Amino acid sequence: MESLFEGVATAHPTGSVDAWKETAVAALCDFCDGHVGEDHLAEEIRAAAEANGVARLDDARAWGQIMKMAEKRGVIKRVGYAPTASSNGSPKALWRMIGGEGK
């Protein structure tokens, strides 16, 4: 099975999967702090993070782990499902931005 994190070696300055994950979680927390109380899809958060310098990986599914990490830290909460552009309108988790440190 091919790694979801393929491309980290060239996409992140340290080439470390763990460093990329922490950078991505920090970007998610920053996004969340600016959108407290709003609901967003992971693809919206990922796009904002990439626009702010988080390295884009070949497989966007890697962000699933980032969302779960942020959920465990209490920064976001799953509140339902919504159709996504990246999956031809199929429903994906909808996340409420809680905010807080979490980084």
Residue 89 domain-assigned (yes or no): yes
Residue 63 domain-assigned (yes or no): yes
Q: Which pair of structure tokens corresponds to residue 46?
A: 């990922």
Q: What is the mean pLDDT of the chain?
A: 86
Percentage of residues in the chain having pLDDT higher than 70: 82
Residue 45 domain-assigned (yes or no): yes
- Asked if residue 23 lies in contact with residue 5, where contact means CB atoms within 8 angstroms, the answer is no
CB neighbours of 12 closer than 8 A, spacing ≥ 6? 19, 20, 23, 55
Task: Report the number of distinct structural domains present in the chain.
Answer: 1
Tens of pLDDT, residue by residue over 20-60, are 899 999 999 999 999 999 999 999 999 999 999 998 888 88
Task: Tell me which DSSP letter residue 12 carries.
Answer: S
pLDDT of residue 64: 93
pTM over 0.95: no
Domain holding 71, by residue range, is: 15-97
* Three-class secondary structure of residue 15 per DSSP: coil
